[in-house]
Amino acid sequence: MANARFETTFSFGRHKANCRVLCQACGHEIVVAPSAFYDVFPIPVTIKEAERRLRCTACGEKRARLIPMPMPMR
Ligand SMILES: [Zn+2]
């Protein structure tokens, strides 16, 4: 898991990882489930591309940072 590679938005689903979406402009932060990416990006895009496209819901800037978060074990 530590060496899992996150290259596209579909990687989150494959690795069962939630994603922290952090706005580098205002610090607003949300956690999204992998399924949310399938809705926003039906075709996989690279993490870099997704970071460029996502707009902060708080301040409107496009300075997102995507950080993989492994789901807690149950
Ligand atoms: Zn923001």
The domain locations on the chain are: 17-70
**65 CA → ligand 1 middle, Å:** 11
DSSP-derived 3-state class of residue 32: strand
- Report, as an integer, the average pLDDT of 34-63: 95
For the domain spanning 17-70, the CATH number is 2.20.28
Q: How many CA atoms lie within 13 A of 8 on its CB side?
A: 10
Q: What is the mean pLDDT of the chain?
A: 91
- What's the pLDDT band for 63 if we cut at 50, 70, 90? very high
- What's the pLDDT band for 2 if we cut at 50, 70, 90? low
**4 CA → ligand 1 middle, Å:** 28
- What's the pLDDT band for 70 if we cut at 50, 70, 90? confident
Picking from 48, 49, 53, 58, the residue whose alpha carbon sits closest to that of residue 23 is 58
**72 CA → ligand 1 middle, Å:** 27
Percent of the chain with pLDDT strictly greater than 70: 91
- Report, as an integer, the average pLDDT of 27-47: 94
pLDDT at position 3: 57
Six token digits for residue 3: 């060496």
